[in-house]
Each structure stands twice: as C-alpha cells, then as structure tokens.
Amino acid sequence: MPTPSTEITLSTSRTLGLVAVASGENYPQANQVLEASRFSRLSNGAYTASLADAQAARRTASALVHRAHEYGATLVTSSRPYLGDIGIEIAARLPGTWGAELEIYAHPLWQEDLWYGLWEAGEIHQALEDHRIPFASVLKNGTGTELLLIERPGHRSGYLLGALTDHEKEDVREDPATPGSMVLPADPGLAAHAVTHTFLPTYRRALHHRDLNTVLSALERIREEHQILKAIKDSGRYSDAVPLGDSRLIAGMERGFADHAWLEFRHVLEHAPLLLSRCRPAATAWPDDGAALTRLREAHAHSQDTWDEWNGLRHELYSIPRTLPAHEWSQVRGQMGLAVLPAIETWLADSEAFERQVRAAVPGGPAALSAPSPRLLTARPAPRQRTADHSRKDSSLLSDHFRFGAHPDYGFVAAATANIPAHLANWFLVREQFEPVPGTPGLYRLTNPEQDGIRRTRQAVHDLRRHGYEVHADYSLDPGRSASPPRLAVRNGLMERRNGIAQAAATRSPQQRGAPTTALPEFLPQPGAVPVGGHTQAVGKGRSR
C-alpha cells in the first residue's frame, strides 16, 4: 500500500489545541518541520500548538504550510478529534481503574509489532493487512487487560477496538476462542457503554476458553508421552518388541519424560487455579465431579513449592543456556518434573471432570453456554505406533518448538514444530535472518549463509532459547553442546536498521510514561479550525512486544 514518505497528520484537542503526528519512512524530516514551526513535543512523540490565540495560531499554521512545502512533507487533516483524548475519555468511563496511552508507529515497519500482541481476527486484523495504522491508543486496567483502539480506516468517524495479549496464541483466524473486534461509535460515552456491556464480557469468556484450552492441550501432550513410557515399562520392550536389555534405560526415559512433562505442566499450574475457583459442581448436572476437583486442588497444592521455586529461578533460568550445557539445563527441568509427577498423574486421571466443570463455569452464566464452544481437546486419538529408534530418539523432540540443521541444497535451515503457531514461528525466524524456502512449506533457510553462517545460526538458536522456546539443533549448531558459544550481537538486519532509524530520531520519546487517567471535558472542538487542507489519517510510535 503506497504511502507518502513524509506525512504530518493534524487533529484537534480541547486541552492541547492543534496536535500533529509525523509518520512515513522519512518521519524524522516531518519532526524537523514541526520543530521549525514552533510546535511543542509531547512525551508520547506527538506535537502540539496552542489555539488559544487566534493570531498566533494563524502564524503557526502558515509556518507549518511553508515548512512542509520546503521539506516535501504531506499535510493531512483528520476529521476526528485527537485519538489520545478519545482513549482517555473512554478509559475514564470503564469499570475499575483504567488508563490510556497513545502509541505512535511512525515508521511503517513499526506497525508490524502489533501482529505479535494482537488477539483478534476481525476488522482490526484486516485493517493491519490493508492499511497504514500510524498510531493507536492502548487501554490498560493494571491487571493484565490491554485493549487496542484505532481509528476505523475508510470511515470518517468511529473506531475499532480489539484485544492485546502477551500469551502465546494459536492461529487467531482459526482459533474459536479468539475474541472479535468491535466497531465503536464516535461518542466516548456510548463507546464506553458498548465496551463495558458487550466487549469486556465477551473478552472474559474468550480468556476463560483460552486458559482451558491451554491446560487441556498441555495435558494431552503429557498424556501421549506418559502412555508411551507406561507401555514400555509394563512390557519391558520397545514398541517393536526389542527387549530393553538394561534397566538403566528405563531410568533415563523417566528423566526425559519428567523434563518434557514439566515444560507442559507449567501451563497447568499457571492457569488451572483460576479455572478451578469458578467451578461449582453442585450447581451442574455432574455433582459427583466435586471429588475429582478436590483431588485436583490437592494436587496443585502439593506442587506449589516446586512452582514457587520455578518462579523464583525463572529469570535466572532464561539466561542459563549461555553458560550451562543443554543436558544440565534439561536436568534442572527434569528434577522439577519428578517432584510434581504424582500431581501430573492426578491431573491426567481427572482431566475429563475438570473439562466438564470448567465448561459449565463460563463467565456470564448459562447464556454464555449458548454460544459455540471452542473445540473439545479431551478427545483422545489412538497412540501412534513407533519404531524402536523413534521411541528412543523422537521422545526428546516431542516438546520442541524449533529445529535447526544443515541441508545439502539450502545450507543452514530451520523448521517450526506443531507446538508453536505458524505465524508466530514465521515472525521469529524472519527476524533471525531466515527466509521461507519456495515450494517447501514450513522450511526456512538462512539468508547469505556464506557470511558467517554457522555463528549466525548458533546465535538464532541461542536467541530463541532465551525467549523460553525449546530448540533442537545439530551438534555443530547448538551453542549448548559444542564449543565457542555465540557472541552477543545485533540479531538481524531488521533490528539493526530499526535501531539506526531510532538513533536518527533521537528526540522520539520512548513512551514509557503512562497517560493521565482523568477524564477530559465532555465535548471536543470540531477540526474545522485547522487551516490546512488534506485527507484523513493519523500517526504514531512503535510498540515493543
């Protein structure tokens, strides 16, 4: 979608006066235009000029027009009030304590940062694909809820509202738990009413389904590995009838299972307590499930010490791969998995009762149950038949997110497993300088592998592990197994280019300060006083997710 390389969007605010936001690939030039025209810079990166003195306002507008022409910047007048004001007014009318911050995505690349956090598959999703979204207002309530408010593209009034999340997501277009976007009216009072009585209840139900699906998915992955291990232990043979021959192999398999089981059981420990607290089995058609829920609560209580230990060490553990070999890192997780093994077995045994009760406890009461439920995850496919080699080797790969290796034709390659959504894997691999291999879906190759390819691939493995992902790599490409750990470096050309852009605009605010949460006066002036012609748009700074 072609856009001018330098653009200034103008809107009005009753408290700030004339508000201007720069955008485009050459947005630093637009910032220079505004500074030369005597606009004042806000902490969020927008610029303002007072309209209290009509004569001074005309001089400012005249200077802006001349400077914009001199620098080749396009002036755009918005038909809407300043979005920062609208976000604050809506937040002030929501139940609880809410605030709003304007974020500016001045460079077109910064808009891409929204993809990682966007939990929405409706009109906002389409707007990000088809339009420039140079700024947005993010509404936060301080307890983890974040909502994205943007001007509705292609319309002279109205807004779009969608959810943001840091939680790892399924493909938002296919996941039935994904909440949709909402079209909001221009009036902040009516918009806040729609958010309070329609959007937030729907959002809470979506969170409920998402957390339930997260727990059930984790239990299913544990169940499959547990069934394989149990069958081998009961028979004393691999699945192809080859005898084990050494009892030490069983102990090694149990440690491997505990390692991978802990990676999944963390999700149960994180999300299950809130879900259990909503369950009222006596009020459902399955009152006898109360005993199962009691066992699950006790199992969680017995795992609490291990969970607390994990949370206490988590930040240190994320940096362990830099200094600790991969097999020792695995032992740390395995010890925790062995500690919670009795609790895991309880959860596997009572997962069906848990699912029944949680689905009956959807926030909103019985009316919410009339909506289509997300897919059931407790349907159990028959265990896959595996050869002896697969039983011994593939068990270490069941919980991987990424795999790296060398290919005779494509050089250094990477692929994502089914344990991570495809769009999220693409987001990470592209930023690690990997590109999709044409004609081979799911396979990525390192760009310019002849340029220090081994070190760059090892750096990619290192970076993904620091993000908390499980990565399997060939021996020479694994910084945790082979010599010469990777040097800390700028990860890829995209980040390097964006850092250069940020340095070129050194006056751009990092926008770490929260926006005021007090409501503005009820009415905002119409933008007719803006003395510059143009079309409608808006601008802003980059979101770091």
Are 306 and 336 in contact by the 8 Å Cβ rule? The answer is yes
Asked whether the predicted pLDDT for residue 37 surpasses 60, the reply is: yes
Share of the chain above pLDDT 90, in %: 42
Q: For residue 38, is pLDDT > 50?
A: yes
Gap between the Cα atoms of 29 and 71, Å rounded: 7
Res. 390 pLDDT band, cuts 50 70 90: very low
* Sequential DSSP letters for 381-417: PPPPP--HHHHHHGGGGTT-SEEEEEETTTEEEEEE-
| CA–CA distance, 98 with 292 (Å, rounded to integer) | 38
Distances (CA, A) of 137 to 66, 147, 159, 228, 538: 30, 8, 11, 50, 12
> What pLDDT, on a 0 to 100 scale, did the predictor assign at position 508?
40
For residue 64, the surrounding DSSP H or E stretch is helix 54-71
Cα dist. 351→228, 346, 492 in Å? Answer: 19, 8, 43
Identify the CA nearest to 518 among candidates 72, 79, 98, 57: 98
What's the rounded mean pLDDT across residues 239-266? 75
Map out the domains of the chain as residue ranges. Answer: 206-378, 402-492
- Within 444-540, where are the H helices? 453-466, 493-504
| Separation of alpha carbons 355 and 476, rounded Å | 44
| 167-172: average pLDDT | 62
Tens digit of pLDDT for each residue in 315-348? 665 554 455 555 566 777 888 989 999 999 999 9
Query: Which is higher by pLDDT, 218 or 116?
Result: 218
Q: How far apart are CA 1 and CA 3, in angstroms?
A: 6
Share of the chain above pLDDT 70, in %: 73
- Could you tell me the two tokens for 160? 């779009």
65-90: average pLDDT: 93
The pTM (predicted TM-score) of the whole model is 0.63
pLDDT band with cut points at 50, 70 and 90 for residue 545: very low
Task: Quick: pLDDT tens for 337-378.
Answer: 899 999 999 999 999 999 999 999 988 643 333 333 333 333
pLDDT at 239 over 80: no
pLDDT tens-digit readout, 129-169: 888 999 999 999 988 899 999 999 988 899 999 999 877 65
CA torsion 45-51-52-56 (nearest 10°) is 110
CB 544 within 8 A of CB 24: no
Strands 182-184 and 118-119: unpaired
**What is residue 393's predicted lDDT score, i.e. its pLDDT?**
42
